Amino acid sequence: MPTAPPMNAADLSPLADDDAARPGGLTMQPLGLAPPAEALYRALLRAPGSSCAAAAQAARLPADMAPALLEGLLHRGLVSRPEATHDAWWPTAPEVAVELLLMERQVELNHARQILPELQQDLRRGGRGADGHDVQIIGGGAQQQLPAYLQIHHAARHEVACVVCPPFSVSAPDEMQAAREQARRRGVRYRTIISPEVMQWPGWLESARQVISQGEQVRVLADLPFKMVLADRHSALVPLRTGEQEGPSLKLGPTAVLHALWALFDALWQQAAPVLTAEAALPAAPDAAEEELHALVMLMAAGANDKSIADVLGISERTLLRRITALGTRLHARSRVQCGWLAARQWDRPDA
């Protein structure tokens, strides 16, 4: 963890008394602000518009140290000096100052994270892949496996492929979404295959529309073998035992198994039905009936059986059969097979 540079007694003295008066001795050092600069900023909060000398005296800093510190605070947007005044300094509002410092730290962390692929490349050059670094078993539940999941997205540079199917186990969805958004901003391409059961989640349709509008590609396929996350033909995270919600996972590096998983994903991708490809065929403001019809067509194209389709749509199998019959009538189909084929033609919009 980074530490502040060594300071002499004069540098530390401004905070010695103040720390004792603050609850828990809280400081702005975690935000990247050194103690002398913080003392000067706090002095200006207590006496806005002070001169350099007055602020230094209030902060109990040597007079010759204050000018450079104030210029540094000015450069970071934490203080201002109106042009009409020669030596009057004004502090930025604390809520704004803290946000500025947080943004600085986030930029630094994002920049530091870019060294990860280089370090991984050094590891591979060292020939250490065979000693277990390319195959790791990660135990615990979803929360314990979250760092490994996030690392895959943070390290990705070209493409991430995901398979989402039961049993579902979600941990820290905000962190997971943030990792995906950061990767997309780096130009990472996302392809995701979901099982029909995902469509039962509240708000799944709006969520799918949002990620698709951001450039992700999403398809639906029934009877997926197991969940997985693959990145850059270089790493993967898969469950060690299928069917267990909280079982251990297997993290893979560039191995033959990883190449086989990519081949499996590409085969599943070709079989899967695109999500939301019917939007161009629907009215500008589609009603509930049209949305349900689109969901029906998508599930049929995904290969879901009647029971699964009925469960997803929240209807009985008898009602489902009536809707399929109505769809066939609308498309002038003479059989269910022809109905599915005509529906696929009407709703199809190729995506890469």
In this structure, the answer to whether residues 213 and 251 fall within a common structural domain is yes
* pLDDT band per the 50, 70, 90 thresholds, residue 48: very high
CA distance 168 to 14: 54
In this structure, the answer to whether residues 38 and 157 fall within a common structural domain is no
Q: Which residue has the higher pLDDT, 126 or 278?
A: 126
**Does the residue 283 lie in any domain?**
no
**Does the residue 270 lie in any domain?**
yes
The predicted structure's pLDDT at residue 281: 41
In this structure, the answer to whether residues 157 and 270 fall within a common structural domain is yes
The predicted structure's pLDDT at residue 192: 93
Is 334's pLDDT higher than 50? yes
* pLDDT band per the 50, 70, 90 thresholds, residue 348: low
The predicted structure's pLDDT at residue 347: 59
* pLDDT band per the 50, 70, 90 thresholds, residue 122: low
* pLDDT band per the 50, 70, 90 thresholds, residue 160: very high
CA distance 39 to 15: 7
Closest CA to 275 of 206, 225, 187: 206
In this structure, the answer to whether residues 170 and 138 fall within a common structural domain is yes
Beta strands in 171-309 (DSSP E): 189-194, 217-220, 228-231, 235-239, 249-252, 273-274
The predicted structure's pLDDT at residue 166: 81
The predicted structure's pLDDT at residue 213: 82
In this structure, the answer to whether residues 173 and 90 fall within a common structural domain is no
* pLDDT band per the 50, 70, 90 thresholds, residue 124: low
In this structure, the answer to whether residues 143 and 234 fall within a common structural domain is yes
CA distance 207 to 227: 19
**Is the distance from CB of 180 to CB of 212 less than 8 angstroms?**
no
In this structure, the answer to whether residues 18 and 40 fall within a common structural domain is yes
The rounded percent of the chain whose pLDDT value lies above 90 is 25
Average pLDDT, integer, range 213-237 = 88
**Does the residue 281 lie in any domain?**
no
The predicted structure's pLDDT at residue 16: 36
* Cα-based distances in Å from 32 to 42, 97, 101: 15, 12, 7
Residue 178 belongs to what domain range?
134-274
Closest CA to 195 of 103, 108, 303, 123: 303
Is 318's pLDDT higher than 90? no
Closest CA to 229 of 265, 271, 273, 189: 265
Is 133's pLDDT higher than 90? no
Q: Which residue has the higher pLDDT, 235 or 170?
A: 235
* pLDDT band per the 50, 70, 90 thresholds, residue 42: very high
Domain boundary among 226, 241, 274: 274
**Does the residue 269 lie in any domain?**
yes
The predicted structure's pLDDT at residue 138: 84
**Does the residue 279 lie in any domain?**
no
Is 119's pLDDT higher than 50? yes
**Does the residue 2 lie in any domain?**
no
Average pLDDT, integer, range 105-128 = 68
* Cα-based distances in Å from 273 to 21, 196, 232, 350: 63, 11, 23, 10
In this structure, the answer to whether residues 20 and 92 fall within a common structural domain is yes
Provide the CATH number for the domain around residue 186. 3.30.870.10
**Is the distance from CB of 195 to CB of 224 less than 8 angstroms?**
yes
Most confident stretch, 59-63, 128-132, 332-336: 59-63
Average pLDDT of the chain is 78
**Does the residue 282 lie in any domain?**
no
In this structure, the answer to whether residues 312 and 269 fall within a common structural domain is no
In this structure, the answer to whether residues 150 and 267 fall within a common structural domain is yes
pLDDT tens track for 173-182: 678 888 888 8
Provide the CATH number for the domain around residue 22. 1.10.10.10
pLDDT tens track for 280-315: 444 444 556 666 777 777 777 667 778 878 877 788
In this structure, the answer to whether residues 154 and 88 fall within a common structural domain is no
In this structure, the answer to whether residues 265 and 293 fall within a common structural domain is no
Is 18's pLDDT higher than 50? no
* pLDDT band per the 50, 70, 90 thresholds, residue 168: confident
Structural domain total, the chain? 3
Residue 68 burial (C-beta neighbours within 10 Å; 0-12, 13-18, 19+):
exposed
Decide: helix, strand or coil at residue 215: coil
Which two tokens mark 251? 């993290």
The predicted structure's pLDDT at residue 41: 95
315: Cβ contacts below 8 Å, ≥ 6 apart: 323
Closest CA to 13 of 57, 52, 64: 57
Domain boundary among 248, 274, 300: 274
Average pLDDT, integer, range 226-249 = 85
Domain boundary among 233, 250, 274: 274
Phi and psi based region of residue 4 (left: phi greater than 0; alpha: psi -120 to 50; beta: remaining): beta
* pLDDT band per the 50, 70, 90 thresholds, residue 6: very low
**Does the residue 24 lie in any domain?**
yes
